[in-house]
Structures are given as C-alpha cells and as structure tokens.
Amino acid sequence: MRLAITNIGTIVSGDWRAPLAAGDTIIVVDAKIQSVGTASSGDVQACDVVIDADGATAIPGLIDSHVHVTFGDYTPRQRTVGYLESYVHGGVTTAISASEVHVPGRPRDPEGVKALAVAARRCFEHYRPGGMSVHAGSVILEPGLTGNDLGEIAKQGVWLAKAGFGAFASAYEYAPLIAAARAHHMITTVHTGGSSIPGSGAITGDHLLALKPHVSFHINGGPTAMPDRDFERVIRESDIALQICTAGNLRTALLCTNLAQKLEAFGRLIIGTDTPTGSGIMPLGMLYTIAHLSSLAGIAPELAIAAATGSNARIYRLDCGLLRAGKAADIVLIDAPEAGTQSDALSAIRNGDIAAIGAVISGGEPRFVGRSRNTPATIRNIRVAACRLVRDFSGARH
Ligand SMILES: [Zn+2]
C-alpha cells in the first residue's frame, strides 16, 4: 500500500537531538516511511490512501518500554481481555515486555523460564493486537540459569533479560547472569526501587552500578522509589538508560528528568507505563507521562515525545520510533483536545493536557482515522481524503 499523510502542521521526529522536522507530508510505502517533508501532487496522487491531517501534529508511534504482557491480548493481573488493542487507541504502536511474570503459576526453574521466554516470543512474533508490535519473551533470571542456557535461548530469538524477580538472596548475585546475557547480545533490565516480591530487598543505586544493566526499570519507583541521593550517582557513574514509568513515583520522575537534563543525559531518559499491574490498565499512560514531564518538569513536549519514541528505539535497537525515511511506518496524528484551552497538540501537552489522537498508522496500515475511542476528540478534522482500496479506516468510532 502507498499512503500519503498531507497537511501536517508540525512533525515531531522522535530524535531528541533534533526533535522537530520540517515539512507537511509523509509518504509511506508498505511498512516503511519513504519520505518526510514535502511531496509533489503527483507523488500524493500515486498513493492508494491519502489522509488529510488538517494541520494536526505527526509523531512517531509511541513505544511503551514496560508492559506486562503474558499470552494473547489478556492480562491475568487485571483479568481483562483486549487491553493491548486499547493501548493502540492511546497511540502505542510498540510494546516491549517487562517479562512474563504475570503468567499464573509461572515456572521458576531454568528449563521453565527458558521455555516461557521462547514461547512468549514466538506467540507474539506474528500476532499484532490492534496492529501493535509486541516484543515479548523476556527471560526472568533465576538461580540455576547458566550462560549456556542464555546462549541457547538467544539462538531461539530471545533478546530481553530481566533481573529482579528471581529467588536470589542478594541482588548482587544477578551480576554474572547480566554479564552473560550481555555477552549474548541481550538487552538487560533491572527492577529498581522497593522490593516487588516478599523476602527480597530494595534495589538501589549501589546495585545498579554493580550490575550494569542496559536499562534501570522504573528508576522513579515501581511503584516505590530508591533514595533521592542515588539518582545523580547512577546518571554520573554509568550509562544505564533511565526508564520513567507512569505507575511509579511522580516526584522522583520529575527529579530524575531534571537531573538527566542538567547532567546532559536526556538521551538516556526513556518512558514506559509499567502496566497492566496493580496500578491498573492505562491505555493513555504514555500520554500522561509525556504531559507530566512537559508540564511539571518543564521539558519541551517534542523532547518528552522523543523519550517515548526514538530514545526507546535506540536503547532497545528497534527500527521504529523516528519519523525518518527508511524507518518503520508507525505514525500517530495528535491534536489539542476539543473544547480545551489550547489550539495545537504541543501547547496542550505543555499545558498538562492529554493530546487527542486522530489517527494511528502501524506497519504502514491505518488502524483508525478520525477518533480514538480513548482520548478526547481532536479539534482538527483528520480524515481519509482519498482511498482507492475497499477498506474502512474509521475504527471504533462512536
Ligand atoms: Zn513492571
């Protein structure tokens, strides 16, 4: 399919170093972005589908880097079906598993955790709930696992490893397994803050600096934060990615964001929701955290969006998260919400409002155009202006 998005008012690139891109048109061919900027009327007329953005803002599809997936579009923790598809209506086109710890009766022995990670990865390889890409299969590091075990599942395509839920007496005991997972090119992640399982202690700055994971999961607390004094040490003394989660401590989210900016580490700041969990299912969680960082920590909205898109993609080595030629065609059109005080998406976010979503395109396919069922309506009339295919992109309009 060839797709054109025309009359874009503002293009947010997803790149924190150059967060705005020039132009008003994006052309998509099949699953990739062909061009961002301007296009001739001939280029637009050659497209199968033309979406008129009516001056709205285009951003990369949001990447939620902390989602508790299990199997299928189902969360056992909140006993709800269809939550991932609902997140697509919150602008999330990619979810990254924070490990499949919510699977009821999950295995804890080496063969069991390996099988769980491989099965979860396989089950989501071609399954796209609502059009979302789900990167599942994050092996839960448990005592007894060896470097050879990790090598074996790496060959099966598992590339995520999670420390923090294993039955170790001390968090320092994760160090050799994290090093082994890194040696097998896995992205390693460590639970941060107060303990999440009975019997284990908190994971704080000392642990992070000793374990050297790629990502500090919910550095602002999941949901309980580590001591304030540890944030500056982790930023200064490591290159660990700083994941801010919606279902965490808001005060330390702002503290960490301000420090990351001051210490020139903003490129390491990434956003996830850490849902569904006890905090619930939050289809708009990414939009809330973007609005919180912008309205309360004074981060430019386009930079907060970069932390939710391009920075996540860079840390997790994904081919999405940027509105740039050659990248995955995951694009969201946002706007100021109807009947608010602001007249464009970025001003609304700066004002602390949730952006209204008017279209979600993932893998080059429009998933809906017009109205998200989860956000307020847009003020601009985002619509399908031309369509040569026998398709209806109105989604769940109601
Ligand atoms: Zn979590």
What is the Cα gyration radius of the chain? 20
d(Cα 33, Cα 165) in Å, to the nearest integer? 39
Rounded to the nearest whole angstrom, what is the distance from the C-alpha of residue 7 to the centroid of ligand 1?
39
The three-state secondary structure class of 310 is helix
Q: How many whole angstroms from 293 Cα to the centroid of ligand 1?
A: 20
Tell me which residue of 210, 277, 266 sits closest to 235, measured CA to CA.
266
The model's pLDDT over 351-397, given as tens digits with 9 standing for 90+, comes to 999 999 999 999 999 999 999 999 999 999 999 999 999 888 886 54
pLDDT in tens, 312-364: 999 999 999 999 999 999 999 999 999 999 999 999 999 999 999 999 999 99
Question: Please, which pLDDT band fits residue 141 given cuts at 50, 70 and 90?
Answer: very high
Give the residue with greater pLDDT, 393 vs 301.
Answer: 301
pLDDT the model gives residue 310: 98
How far apart are the CA of 242 and the centre of ligand 1, in A? Answer: 14
CA of 303 to the centre of ligand 1 (A): 24
231 vs 254: CA distance, rounded Å: 11
Q: Over the stretch 84-137, which tens digit does the pLDDT of each residue have? A: 999 999 999 999 999 999 999 999 999 999 999 999 999 999 999 999 999 999
Length of the chain: 398
383 Cα–ligand 1 center, Å? 37
Measured in Å, residue 149 CA sits from the centre of ligand 1 at 24
- Give residue 196's pLDDT: 62
Provide the token pair at 352.
Answer: 């602390």
pLDDT at 392: 86
Whole-number Å distance, alpha carbon 217 to ligand 1 midpoint, is: 7
Residue 201's pLDDT is 75
Tell whether the model's pLDDT for residue 398 goes beyond 70.
Answer: no
Q: Which amino acid is at 306?
A: A
Q: What's the pLDDT at 198?
A: 53
Query: What's the gap in Å between 103 CA and the centre of ligand 1?
Result: 13
Dihedral sign from CA coordinates of 216, 130, 104, 185:
negative
Q: Which residue type, as a one-letter code, is found at position 216?
A: S
Confidence of residue 197 (pLDDT cuts 50, 70, 90): low
pLDDT digits (tens, 9 = 90+) for 10-63: 999 999 999 999 999 999 999 999 999 999 999 999 999 999 999 999 999 999
Distance 140 CA to ligand 1 centre (A): 12
Name residue 383's amino acid. R
Ligand 1 centroid vs 130 CA: distance in angstroms?
22
- DSSP letter string over 222-243? SSSPPPTHHHHHHHHH---EEE
**In angstroms, what is the span from residue 286 Cα to ligand 1's centroid?**
14
What pLDDT is attached to residue 200?
62
Closest CA to 163 of 147, 183, 187: 187
Residue 220 CA to residue 212 CA, distance in Å, equals 17
Q: Which two tokens stand for residue 13?
A: 């690139």
Distance between CA 132 and CA 138 in Å, rounded?
18
Q: What span, in angstroms and rounded, lies between the C-alpha atoms of 85 and 134?
A: 11
Sheet holding 25-29, edge to edge: 32-37, 25-29, 2-6, 49-52, 383-387
Q: Residue 47 C-alpha to ligand 1 middle, in angstroms?
A: 41
